[in-house]
Amino acid sequence: MPLFYFQTFGCQMNVADSEQIRKKLMMRGFKPSLSPDKADIIVVNTCSVRENAEIRARVKIGEFAKSKKENASLWVIGCMAERLGDKLKRIIPEIDLVIGAKRIDEIDGIIEKQLPGCVCSKLPETESNVTDFVPVMRGCNNYCTYCIVPYVRGPEHSIPVGEIENVIREKVTNGVKEITLLGQNVNSYNDHETDFPDLLYKIANIKGLERIRFTTSHPKDCNEKLIRAIAEIPKMSRHVHLPVQAGSDKILKMMNRNYESFQYLELVDMIKKYLPDADITTDIMVGFPGETDKDFRETLQLVKQVRYTTAFMFAYSVREGTEAASMVDNVPKEIKISRLNELINLQTSITKEIYSNVVGKECEVLITGQQKKRDRFWMGQDKGCKKVLVSCNSIKAGMILKVRAVRSSGMTLICERIV
Ligand code: 5AD
Ligand code: SF4
């Protein structure tokens, strides 16, 4: 029985793509291998968004190149594969196949060519995860000046509604209760007839689907119609991820974000008005070219004002080929790191406060699985983005329970079941 091994870096889109390819290999008789050394095909799905992600992927590919079985194939796919193309094969000659992110739609044909004569069969019904990802659009047209994504993923294109509905229906039949709609900028979804809020209304009609999430949004395309849709559809999670990137208007302009901080804050007010209990989360970057201490203080001020439940926080990393790469990267590394630490400390204290404010309150939890280490605890997520542990017998993954938070351990709510 031939075996495969996957190593996935980067965003949820990569996780979803890896899953698709796993399925295609399984349909051709492959089975997952626990160790890369035993695998016949090793697939590394890569990310280019920051230099660090590329370095980690290259180290891993180097390790696989040395340790793989003699005739095993090494495939490198995703954003770094798109950015470097066959240059990767010259750096690491053991690589057999490079499939860039723009060619992911052609994956069926590519696999067919690589594995000729493999008989394709239907996958046996297996128990699915409770929660799963569904890409609805790919690519990005925004060209934020720091970002490599529009270059490696190409222009935006939306998947037709009917196709998305079919994918979700099949997943729901296999036991999926919650789906996360994915795109670099889901708010600009448009398949010529349906925009993103209308897509949500349509998907909400799918029977057996209990919860809908989506990520990620660009503030410039996040409008009242979308917020109203989230408020009106009971299946929608109460979570809006809204990357702000910076709090200084000067920096936002240099980033080509197309909004000023006051517009972002108006949007946040609108979300809080329609969805008072929602979790708002964000992405923030420090150390962009030209960021002064005053600019950075404006970011901290905005974070204090919005009070995000959690945030992904990064130090700016130069990406060759982007517009910002030709600006002078003039914030010293030590300052980037100290700003990042200050921001993380501020956000961590806000996160802890938000979590502890929920203690004593009721929430609705989707149970996703059992903790491996302490099997007394079941893991789940509330309707927002908060991680939850429930200690109780007779629970199963996929159940939606009413619980009360009895304690917060910083970034996790410990809950007891009510019904
Ligand atoms: N340097 C640092 N962070 C970046 N991001 C995107 N490009 C860069 C870069 N060059 C961050 C942004 C984005 C998230 C996915 O990654 O915050 O929202
Ligand atoms: Fe990159 Fe901006 Fe597009 Fe997001 S919206 S993928 S940050 S260019």
DSSP 7-31: EE-SSHHHHHHHHHHHHHHHHTT-E
* Position 119 in a domain: no
Domain shared by 82 and 222, yes or no? no
Tens-place pLDDT, residues 195-208: 999 999 999 999 99
- Ligand 1 centroid to residue 126 C-alpha, Å: 36
Atom of ligand 2 nearest to the CA of 148: 1
Domain shared by 308 and 334, yes or no? yes
The whole-angstrom separation of Cα 43 and Cα 22 is 9
Domain shared by 86 and 181, yes or no? no
Domain shared by 234 and 312, yes or no? yes
Q: What is the pLDDT of residue 124?
A: 67
Q: Look at residue 51 and tell me whether its pLDDT is greater than 70.
A: yes
Domain shared by 367 and 342, yes or no? no
Instruction: Share the mean pLDDT of the chain.
Output: 95
Tens-place pLDDT, residues 83-95: 999 999 999 999 9
The whole-angstrom separation of Cα 393 and Cα 356 is 25
Domain shared by 107 and 248, yes or no? no
Q: Look at residue 297 and tell me whether its pLDDT is greater than 70.
A: yes
Banded pLDDT at 372 (limits 50, 70, 90): confident
Q: Look at residue 119 and tell me whether its pLDDT is greater than 80.
A: no
For residues 163-192, give the mean pLDDT.
96
Tens-place pLDDT, residues 122-144: 776 666 789 999 999 999 999 99
How many residues belong to the chain?
419
DSSP 64-100: HHHHS-TT-EEEEEEHHHHHHTTHHHHHSTT--EEEE
Atom of ligand 2 nearest to the CA of 218: 5
For residues 15-39, give the mean pLDDT.
94
Domain shared by 140 and 287, yes or no? yes
* Position 124 in a domain: no
Q: What is the pLDDT of residue 2?
A: 93
* Position 18 in a domain: yes
Q: Look at residue 153 and tell me whether its pLDDT is greater than 80.
A: yes
Q: Look at residue 347 and tell me whether its pLDDT is greater than 70.
A: yes
The whole-angstrom separation of Cα 386 and Cα 380 is 9
Q: Look at residue 413 and tell me whether its pLDDT is greater than 90.
A: yes
Q: What percent of the chain has pLDDT above 90?
A: 88
Mutate to test the pocket of ligand 1, among 9, 47, 48, 50 (most ligand atoms within 8 A of CB): 50
- Kindly tell me the sign of the dihedral angle through the C-alpha atoms of 285, 76, 104, 182: negative
- Do the beta carbons of residue 298 and residue 261 sit within 8 Å? yes
Mutate to test the pocket of ligand 2, among 13, 218, 258, 285 (most ligand atoms within 8 A of CB): 218
For residues 45-72, give the mean pLDDT.
96
* Position 219 in a domain: yes
- Which residue among 339, 357, 375 closes a domain? 357
Quick check: CB of 285 below 6 Å from ligand 1?
yes
* Position 120 in a domain: no
Domain shared by 95 and 168, yes or no? no
Domain shared by 348 and 364, yes or no? no
* Position 170 in a domain: yes
For residues 32-53, give the mean pLDDT.
96
* Position 377 in a domain: yes
For residues 285-294, give the mean pLDDT.
98
Q: Look at residue 118 and tell me whether its pLDDT is greater than 70.
A: yes
Domain shared by 340 and 412, yes or no? no
**Residue of the CA atom closest to atom 2 of ligand 2:** 144
* Position 121 in a domain: no
- Ligand 2 centroid to residue 321 C-alpha, Å: 14
- Which residue among 65, 80, 114 closes a domain? 114
Q: What is the pLDDT of residue 127?
A: 64
CATH of the domain at 383: 2.40.50.140
**Residue of the CA atom closest to atom 5 of ligand 2:** 142
Q: What is the pLDDT of residue 394?
A: 83
Domain count, the chain: 3
Q: What is the pLDDT of residue 126?
A: 67
**H/E run at residue 165:** helix 161-173
Q: Look at residue 223 and tell me whether its pLDDT is greater than 90.
A: yes
- Ligand 1 centroid to residue 288 C-alpha, Å: 10
CATH of the domain at 192: 3.80.30.20
- Which residue among 357, 384, 407 closes a domain? 357
Give the CA radius of gyration of the chain: 22
Domain shared by 151 and 262, yes or no? yes
Domain shared by 276 and 166, yes or no? yes
Predicted model pTM: 0.95
Q: What is the pLDDT of residue 264?
A: 98
CATH of the domain at 86: 3.40.50.12160
Q: Look at residue 352 and tell me whether its pLDDT is greater than 70.
A: yes
* Structural domain of 376: 359-417
Mutate to test the pocket of ligand 1, among 285, 308, 310, 336 (most ligand atoms within 8 A of CB): 285
Quick check: CB of 143 below 6 Å from ligand 2?
yes
